[in-house]
Structure 1
Amino acid sequence: MTKLLLTALAMAAVLAGPARAQPRSDPDWPCVQRKVASLSPGQFWTGPDIAAAGAWGDDNDAAVVAQKIASRRTELTEVDPLLDAYVATLPSADKGQRLTRVYAGVFEVLNGERNKVMNGITRYAQGQRRMAERIREEADTISQTKDGPSAADAREVSKEQSDIETKFAWDRRIFQERSQSLTYVCEVPQLLEQRLGEIARKIQARL
C-alpha cells in the first residue's frame, strides 16, 4: 500500500474515530463529546412550573430580558445586573411567574441556537465523509498509475495524473483544515448548555 493511500486512510480514520469510540452512536456525529440530541427545560430548572407561567413571548418585558441575557454577546458578568434591574420592577406577587417566563425565553433561544449548531455539525460531518471517500479514490488512482507496469518506463507524469495529484493535495489540505475547525465547533453545544445552566441558576437565585 502506497504512502498516499495510507495517508488518505489515516485522514478518514481521524474523522471516523470518535464515532467508533461511542457504541451505537450516530454515524454522522464526529465529535468526541457525547451527543445529546435534545434538551428539556427541566434539566436546568427547579423553579415554578414553566407551563403554568404562561407564554414568555406574550410578556414583552420578560421577552426583552430573556433575549438580552441569552445572547452570547452579553457577558455572564452582565447577567446579574440585568436581572436585578428587572426584578426591581416586579411586584412581589408576580416575581416567580415573571422570572419563570424569563427562563422559558432563555431556554428557547439558547436551545434553538444549539439545535442549529447540532444540525450544522451533522452536515459538516457528512461533507467530510464524502471528501474522505474522494481522497481515498484519488490516492488509489495515483497509486495505480505509479505502480502500473508502464509507470517504470515513463519519463514524464501525464497531465491527467498531474491534475489528479494537484486535486488530491488540495482536497487533503481542505480536509485537514476542516478537521481542525471541527474541534472548536464540537465544543459549541456544550458551551451553550453551560451558559443555559449558569443563567438558570442566576434566575432561580432571585425567586
Structure 2
Amino acid sequence: MIRSCTLSLLALGLLAGPALAQPKGDPDWPCVQRKVSTLSPGTVWTGPDLAEAGAWGDDFEAAQLAQKIASRRTPLNEVDPLLDAFGETAGAEKGKRLTRVFAGVFEVLNGERNKVIAGIGRYAQGQRRMAERIRDEADKISATKDGPSAQDARDMPKEASELETKFAWDRRIFQERSQSLTYVCEVPTLLEQRLGEIARKIQARL
C-alpha cells in the first residue's frame, strides 16, 4: 500500500516540494508564463499623454465605447467600425477623445487582469493546501494498512477504507484543477494581447 500511495503522489507531483506544477520564486504563481503583477500604459501605448486628454469617465460617449470594446464579448474585428463611427462624430477634439477611449480600455482590462492574477494566487494556495491534505491522507492509509490489524486484506479496518475513498476523491479533484490551470494561466496574456491590439487600432486613427 505504501508503494501504491507513493506512486499516486508522484503522479500528482506532490513529493517534489511545492504542490504545484513547477518550482517558482513565488509559491502563489503556478503558471509557466512569467508573472507581471501590473501593467503600465506605456507597455502598449505610444500616443498622446493620457492625463492631458482628460478623465475618460467624464466623456460619456468615450467611456461607453471603451467599456464596449474592452469587453471580450466584442470580437476584435468589430472594434474597427466602432472606432470609425466614434471618430466621425468626435468633433475637433477627436485625438483627445480617442485617447480617452484608450485610457478607459486600459483601466477596464488592467483591472480585469489584476482580478484574474489575484484569483490565480488564491487558486494556487488552495492547491497547495489540498496537496498537503493528500500527503497526510496517504501517510494515514499506509500507517493503517501496515498496522497489526491489517495483516489480512479481508479484515481491512473501516477507517482505512474511508481514508482510501477520501484520498481517491481528493486526488481526482486535485488533478482536474491542475488540468484547468492551462487555460486559467493564459487569461492574463490574452487580456494583454487584446489591450495591445486595441491600442494599435486607436493609435492608427489619431
Q: Which band: TM-score by shorter chain? A: over 0.9
In structure 2, the CA distance between the partners of 1:154 and 1:79, relative to structure 1 (3 Å rule), is: closer
The yes-or-no answer on 1:133 pairing with 2:157 is no
In structure 2, the CA distance between the partners of 1:10 and 1:150, relative to structure 1 (3 Å rule), is: same
What residue in structure 2 maps to residue 65 of structure 1? 65
- AA in 1 matched with 2:129: R
What residue in structure 2 maps to residue 99 of structure 1? 98
Q: CA RMSD in A?
A: 1.5
- CA drift at 1:47: 0.2
Gaps of 5+ in 2: none
Cα offsets for 1:161-201 (capped at 9, x unmatched)? 11111100110010011111111101000000000000000
What residue in structure 1 maps to residue 110 of structure 2? 111
- CA drift at 1:153: 4.0
Equivalences for residues 73-88 of structure 1 within 5 A: 73-88=73-88
In structure 2, the CA distance between the partners of 1:173 and 1:154, relative to structure 1 (3 Å rule), is: closer
- AA in 2 matched with 1:202: K
Cα offsets for 1:24-59 (capped at 9, x unmatched)? x21100011110111011111000001111110000
Equivalences for residues 121-160 of structure 1 within 5 A: 121-153=120-152, 155-160=154-159
Equivalences for residues 1-207 of structure 1 within 5 A: 2-11=3-12, 12=14, 13=16, 15-18=19-22, 20=23, 22=24, 25-91=25-91, 93-153=92-152, 155-207=154-206
Aligned pairs, how many?
A: 202
8 Å CA contact 1:80, 1:202 repeated in 2: yes
Moved more, 9-18 or 43-52: 9-18
Gaps of 5+ in 1: none
8 Å CA contact 1:5, 1:143 repeated in 2: no
8 Å CA contact 1:5, 1:140 repeated in 2: no
How many percent identity over aligned positions?
75
- TM-score with structure 2 length normalisation? 0.93
- AA in 2 matched with 1:112: G
- TM-score with structure 1 length normalisation? 0.93
